[in-house]
Each structure stands twice: as structure tokens, then as C-alpha cells.
Structure 1
Amino acid sequence: MRVMFLGDVVGRPGREYLRVRAGALRAELDLDFLVVNAENAAAGAGITGAIARQLLDAGIDAITLGDHVWDQRGFESEIVDLQQVCRPANLPEGCPGRRWVCVERDGVKLAVFTMLGRQFLPPRASCPFRGSDALLEEIRAVDNPTLAVAEIHAEATSEKIAFGRYLDGRVAAVVGTHTHVPTADACILPAGTGYVTDLGMCGPYDSVLGRDVDAGIRRFLDGMPRRFGVASDDVRLCGVVFDFDVRSGRTIRFQPFREDAPVAPAGASDGAERASGVDTAGEAGNGAKP
């Protein structure tokens, strides 16, 4: 079972390139499921119901969110109708939205949930470690999934690594999001759980974490509040492709993924060939999909 996880989708550049490429990626890489974090898809902060539906219609199976979940006005009423979208499961009790998503293909069920970290983030979330214990029991009682994957949306790498180790052997994979910077530590943990500290960003990399470079620099120089517009150049998709053994529920192979959006040279037509990233998942596992 092959599943691609893509990092935080940032603004129109990220979501539009993902929307255009999602269906083709499924075919080219023989993906069974495609899961993305889209908490920055609307102008770089939050998501709307309309944007979520566009991504789902384009071929995304499940959308996870993070600390910007409520940044777009009115989304708290829209999320209740989005069955393939889950907000962080450890938000305060009573928050709207699903705490996990379960999707099925060819008799295989994949459950996905996300937890907010608590280091260097606003203290509004409960413990992601203990919360995962109870949530996994509930997920298995309600949906009995073949595979379960946990996302940790957190700032501190130490918290993410500890979370991965905590769930090692109990979920198929643990993937980190939030920092918008892909990490080079994808691995299979000792008990068989796939892991990466951060999937990176689907959006403009000629930026400061997807935002306008000049505004980002000035914020550090003078500390003044200002609007951070979404950048537009060097758009990439970034994430990891995992191959799972459906019998054991463990990771057997993984491949970091990166794809650069096409950049047409001066005078070139809009039909310029798509640029290929340095890390592609077309050879994930160096062989046939299990």
C-alpha cells in the first residue's frame, strides 16, 4: 500500500500547483492514497470550505490541519460538512470538526489524525502523547482501520522525535508538519514505524516560509506588525512516499519526494516541460509496490 504525504500547502501558488498535479501524481507514482496538510492554503493562513473541496475534487484523499485551523472566518461552521478533513485531535473539547479521517480503497482502510505540539505554540492543546493513546483506541473501536498514521504538527524537533518514538510500533507512520522546512531524517524506527520530522512545504520556496522575503526580514529588524503576503516564486511540492505492509501495519520502504513547478525561460510558451525535483518518488522502494 503506497501513500504520499505532502507538507503544508501555502497560499494560491501551493494549492494551484497541487491541484493541477494531484491526479497525475497518483497515476505516475501508483499511489493508493494522497494526504496533505492544508492549514495554510487560504492566503497563507487557514483554509476555507471551498478550497478544501477543490483539493479533494483534484484527487486528495484526506486533508489535515494545524494551529491555523480557525484563521479563516466562518470555517468553524464549514468544517462540520467536510468528511475528509480533520482538525487537530487535541484541541479543547467541543471544537467542531473531525478528529480523524478514515478512507478506504480495495478493502484497505487508512486512518489519519493530527496532534498539535505544545512546545513554543499557544497552550491551548492537551497532551498529544496521552491523547494519542486514547484516540487510537477510539479509532480502532469505531473504524477498525488496516493502517493508522499520526501527524504531529509542532515547532520543536525534539517533541516530534519523541512523539514518533512514543508511537513506534503502534502506527504505520508518524509525519511531522508546521515548520515548512523539509528535514533529511526520514527513516523506519526500530519497531517498524515510518518517520520524518517535517514533510516541508507545498508552496513558494523563494520566500521566508512561504511569505514575502522583504516583510519577513523587516519583521526581524524592527519587530513591527505588518502583513505577510504569500510569495510566488520557486513553487515546489514536498513530502514523503511510504510503502506499507498491510498485514503487519508497518513501513517497509520510504522515499522523500520533491517536485519543482515549471519555470518557463524568457520567451518560452506556457507549455514548458515540468521541472523535475532532485528527490522524486518515482523509484520508491526500488521496485514494485507491495
Structure 2
Amino acid sequence: MKILFIGDVFAAIGREMIETYLPQLKQQYQIDVVIANVENATHGKGLNKRHYEEFLFQGISLMTMGNHTFAKKELFDYIDEADRLIVPYNQPRALPGMGSREITILGKKIRVTNLLGITFMDGKSQNPFEAIDDVLKEDTSDIHIVDFHAEATSEKIALGYYLDGKVSAVLGTHTHVTTADEKILPQGTAYQSDVGMTGPYESVIGCDKDSIIKRMKTGVMTPFLVAESVGQLRATLLTFNDQNQCIQIERICIDPDHSF
């Protein structure tokens, strides 16, 4: 089985990159399941219902979120019906949504769990190391992929080793910068610190670079503007054998400097 995980989809450019390249990727790599982090899909923050439905139509089986999950208040109106959406499992209990979901594809039970990091984040989430234990107690899936939406690389690496042999893959999101540390850990869990961003290529993690430079240089809190740029697509391809063991993890990069 081959599972494609698409990194943080950012605004219209990110959505256009999926529309353009996902059919080609599915054909070339014979992909069975597509997962995407979509917390920035609508204008750079949050996810509205129209874009959620577009992703379903394009063949994305499960969608994960992150610290901008509820940036679009419209989500409160449709989240109970969004049965392919996964919000952070360790978010404050008062917030709605499912933090771990299981679907069956080609006879395999595939679970995806979304976790938020707590280092350099807003500090309102439950400790992800404690939270994931609750999921593992009830998990009977064949393949279990964790999207760890976190800032600190050290926290991501630590969780990877903590879950080595307990889940199938730990893939980092949130920083929007692809890391080159993809590997299969000693007990068989696939790991990568960050899958990267699917969005504007000439940007500062998706935002207009001039406005961010001004903010960094002067300290003036300029608004975050979505960059107008050609696109990039960042994804990670996981290959599993018949025993549900991940035997390969591969970065996929599409942009003006990495043609497809």
C-alpha cells in the first residue's frame, strides 16, 4: 500500500497545486490513500466548507488540522458532519471535532491522529506524549499515521522515538519547511520532522516576503499577506508491505527548481 501525505496546504496557490499535480502523482506512484494537512487552506488560515468539499472531490481521504483549526468560524457550523476531518486530539476539551479517525481502504484499517506540540506554541494543549497514550490503548488499526503539528524539531524527534514501534509513521507539520531527515526508526516507525508546505514558492512560509522582512526589521506588526507567487508542492510518500510495515519513506518536491 502507498500513502501520500501532503504538507500544509496554504491558500489558493496550494489548492491549485493539488488540483494540478495530485492526479499525476496518484497515477505515477500508484497511490492508494491521500492525507493532507489543510489548516491553512482557506486564505492562509483555517478551512471553510467549500474547500473541505473540494479536497474530498479531489480524492483526499483524510484531512488534518493544527493551531489554526478554528481560524474560520464557519468550521463550527459543519464540523460535526465533516467525517474526514481530524482536529488536534490534544486541543482543549471544550472544542469540537475528532482528533483521531480510522477508515478502511483496500481491506486495511488506516488510522490518522493529529497532535499539537506544546514547545513554543500557545501552551493551551494537553501534553501530546500523554494524550497519544489514550489513543494507543484503543487502537486496532493496521496502519496508524500521526501528524505532529509542532514548532520545535527536538519535540518532534522525541515524539518520533517515543512512538517508534507503536505507530506506523510520525510526520511533522507546521513549520512549512521540508526537512531532509526522513528515515525508518529502529522499531519500524517512519519519521520526518516536517513534510513542508504546499503553497507559494517565493514567500516566507507562504506569506509575502516584503511584508515579513519589514516586520522583522522594524518590529512593526504588519499584516500577514498571502504571497503572490508560483506554487510548490511538498509531500511524503510512505510504502507499506503486506505485513503493514513501512519499507520506504520518500520526499516529493515540485516547484520551479524541482520539475515533475
Which range, TM-score by smaller chain? over 0.9
Aligned equivalents of 1:151 and 1:17: distance in 2?
21
1:161 maps to 157
Equivalent residue of 1:126, what SS?
coil
Q: Does 1:79 align with 2:79?
A: yes
The one-letter code sitting in structure 1 at the alignment partner of 2:218 is D
**Equivalences for residues 142-221 of structure 1 within 5 A:** 144-221=140-217
Per the TM alignment, residue 39 of structure 1 is displaced from its structure 2 partner at its CA by: 0.5
1:254 aligns with 2:237: no
Counterpart Cα distance in 2 of 1:109 and 1:20: 29
Q: How many angstroms does 1:258 deviate by? A: 0.9
TM (norm. structure 2) is 0.96
User: For each residue in 1:6-61, what CA deviation from the matched residue of structure 2 results, as whole angstroms up to 9, or x when unmatched?
Assistant: 11000100012212322332122100101110110111111111111101111111
How many residues align? The count is 260
Structure-1 residue corresponding to 2:259: 276
Shift of residue 108 of structure 1? 0.8
1:268 corresponding residue in structure 2: none
Q: AA paired with 2:191?
A: Y
Q: Which residue pairs with 1:242 in the alignment?
A: 238
Matched residue type, 1:17: M
How many angstroms does 1:95 deviate by?
A: 1.5
Question: Quick one: distance in 2 between partners of 1:113 and 1:23?
Answer: 25
Matched, 1:100 2:100: yes
Q: Is the 8 A contact 1:42 1:51 kept in 2?
A: yes
| Residue in structure 2 matching 1:224, options 220, 223, 229 | 220
Per the TM alignment, residue 197 of structure 1 is displaced from its structure 2 partner at its CA by 0.2
Cα RMSD of the aligned pairs, angstroms, is 1.5
How far apart, CA to CA, are the structure 1 residues paired with 2:60 and 2:228?
Answer: 23
1:217 CA displacement = 0.4
Amino acid aligned to 1:93 = R
Superimposed CA distance per residue, residues 211-256 of structure 1 (whole angstroms, 9 cap, x where no aligned partner): 0011110111122222211112231111210112342x33111211
Task: Please list every run of 5 or more consecutive structure 2 residues that lacks an aligned counterpart in the other structure.
Answer: none
Partner SS, residue 8 of structure 1: coil
The AA in structure 2 aligned to 1:276 is S
Q: Which moved more, 1:15-24 or 1:192-201?
A: 15-24
Q: 1:179-213 CA distances to partner (integer Å, 9 max, x unpaired)?
A: 00000000000000000000000011200111001
1:146–1:246: 8 Å Cα contact kept in structure 2?
no
Structure 1 residue runs of 5 or longer lacking an equivalent are 263-274, 278-290
Looking at structure 2, the residues matched to 101 and 49 of structure 1 have their Cα atoms a distance apart, in angstroms, of 19
Instruction: In structure 2, give the amino acid aligned to 1:223.
Output: G
Mapped contact 2:212–2:222 kept (Cα < 8 A) = no
Q: Which residue of 1 aligns with 2:127?
A: 127
Q: Do residues 20 (structure 1) and 20 (structure 2) align? A: yes
Which secondary structure state, in structure 2, belongs to the residue aligned with residue 163 of structure 1?
A: helix
Max Rg structure: 1
Partner letter of residue 36 of structure 1? A
Q: TM-score, normalised by structure 1?
A: 0.86
Percent identical: 36
Paired residue type of 2:118: R
1:174 shift after superposition: 0.4
